[in-house]
Amino acid sequence: MRTAATSAAGALNPLQSLIARRWRPQWVCQNCRTAQSPRNPSYRRSLATATKSNETKPYYATTPIFYVNAAPHVGHMYTMLLTDVLKRWQEVKGREAILCTGTDEHGLKIQQAAAKADAEPKAFCDKGAQVFKDLAESIDVGTDIFIRTTDKQHNEGVEYAWQILQEKGFIYENKHEGWYSVSDETFYPKSQVHLIVDPPTGRKIMVSIETGKEVEWTSERNYHFKLSAFKDRLLKWYEENPEWIVPRTRMEDVIRQVSTNLEDLSISRPSSRLQWGIRVPTDPSQTIYVWLDALLNYATAVGYPFTPGQESATGFPPDVQVIGKDIIRFHCIYWPAFLMALDLPLPNQILTHAHWTLGRQKMAKSTGNVVNPFFALERFGIDPLRWYLVQEGGISQDADYDNEFVIEKYKKGLQGGLGNLVGRIMRAKNWDVQRAVQRYAHPDLAEGQHPAVSDESGDVNRRAYGRLRELPSLVEKQMRDLHPNRALQAIMNAVYSANGHLQKTSPWVTATKLRSAMADTTGQELHDAAKRGESVEEMEAEIDRVVYINAETLRLVGIMLQAFIPSSAARMLDMLGVKPERRSWEWCVAGKDDAFGDPLVDLGKGANGVLFPALTSDR
The bridge status of strand 320-324 relative to strand 59-67 is: parallel
Residue 277 phi, psi dihedral angles, 5° rounding: 175, -170
Sign for the CA dihedral angle at 257, 259, 261, 265 comes to positive
Q: pLDDT tens digits for 418-438?
A: 999 999 999 988 899 999 999
Is there a contact between 322 and 67 (Cβ–Cβ < 8 Å)? no
When mean pLDDT is compared across 94-103, 222-231, 423-432, the lowest value belongs to 423-432
pLDDT band for 557, please (50, 70, 90 cuts): very high
Instruction: Give the per-residue pLDDT at 519.
Output: 66
Does the pLDDT of residue 473 top 60, yes or no? yes
Does the pLDDT of residue 30 top 50, yes or no? no
Does the pLDDT of residue 12 top 70, yes or no? no
> Residue 235 and residue 233: Cα distance in Å, rounded?
6
Does the pLDDT of residue 516 top 70, yes or no? yes
Q: State the average pLDDT over residues 45-67.
A: 70
Instruction: Give the per-residue pLDDT at 1.
Output: 33
- Residue 299 or 55, more confident: 299
Does the pLDDT of residue 291 top 80, yes or no? yes
Selection from 147, 63, 161, 166 nearest residue 106 by Cα = 147
Does the pLDDT of residue 199 top 80, yes or no? no
Q: State the average pLDDT over residues 402-409.
A: 94
Does the pLDDT of residue 54 top 90, yes or no? no
The bridge status of strand 265-266 relative to strand 361-362 is: unpaired
Half-sphere exposure of 251 (CA within 13 A, CB side): 19
Q: pLDDT tens digits for 204-220?
A: 888 888 778 888 887 78
Instruction: Give the per-residue pLDDT at 8.
Output: 35
Q: State the average pLDDT over residues 396-420.
A: 95
Is there a contact between 269 and 226 (Cβ–Cβ < 8 Å)? no
SS3 87: helix
Does the pLDDT of residue 447 top 50, yes or no? yes
Does the pLDDT of residue 445 top 60, yes or no? yes
> Residue 508 and residue 512: Cα distance in Å, rounded?
6
Instruction: Give the per-residue pLDDT at 45.
Output: 39
Does the pLDDT of residue 2 top 50, yes or no? no
Q: What percent of the chain has pLDDT over 70?
A: 86
Q: C-alpha dihedral over 328, 331, 334, 335, to 10 degrees?
A: -170
pLDDT band for 365, please (50, 70, 90 cuts): low
SS3 522: coil
Q: State the average pLDDT over residues 555-566.
A: 98
Spell out the domains of the chain, with CATH numbers in brackets: 14-353 (3.40.50.620), 403-618 (1.10.730.10)
Q: State the average pLDDT over residues 121-132.
A: 96
Q: pLDDT tens digits for 477-505?
A: 999 999 999 999 999 999 999 999 999 99
**DSSP per residue over 391-446, as a string?**
HHS-SSS-EEE-HHHHHHHIIIIIIIIIIHHHHHHHS-SS--HHHHHHHH--TTPP
pLDDT band for 153, please (50, 70, 90 cuts): very high
> Residue 409 and residue 345: Cα distance in Å, rounded?
42
Those residues whose C-beta lies under 8 Å from the C-beta of residue 92, and which sit 6 or more positions away, are 559, 560, 562, 563, 583, 584, 585, 588
pLDDT band for 534, please (50, 70, 90 cuts): low
Does the pLDDT of residue 23 top 80, yes or no? no
Instruction: Give the per-residue pLDDT at 535.
Output: 74
Q: State the average pLDDT over residues 136-146.
A: 94
pLDDT band for 24, please (50, 70, 90 cuts): very low
> Residue 458 and residue 282: Cα distance in Å, rounded?
78
Does the pLDDT of residue 77 top 90, yes or no? yes
Average model confidence (pLDDT) across the chain: 87
CA Rg value for the chain: 29
**DSSP per residue over 361-391, as a string?**
EE-BTTTTB---HHHHHHHH-HHHHHHHHHH
Is there a contact between 371 and 403 (Cβ–Cβ < 8 Å)? no
Instruction: Give the per-residue pLDDT at 42.
Output: 42
> How close are the terminal C-alpha atoms of the chain, in Å?
41
Instruction: Give the per-residue pLDDT at 232.
Output: 97
Sheet holding 268-270, edge to edge: 268-270, 283-288, 279-280
Ramachandran category for residue 595: left, alpha or beta (phi over 0 → left; psi -120 to 50 → alpha): alpha
Does the pLDDT of residue 527 top 70, yes or no? no
- 10 Å CB burial of residue 367 (0-12, 13-18, 19+) is exposed
pLDDT band for 52, please (50, 70, 90 cuts): very low
Does the pLDDT of residue 51 top 60, yes or no? no
Instruction: Give the per-residue pLDDT at 262.
Output: 92
> Residue 142 and residue 124: Cα distance in Å, rounded?
25
SS3 615: coil
Q: State the average pLDDT over residues 582-600.
A: 97
pLDDT band for 531, please (50, 70, 90 cuts): low
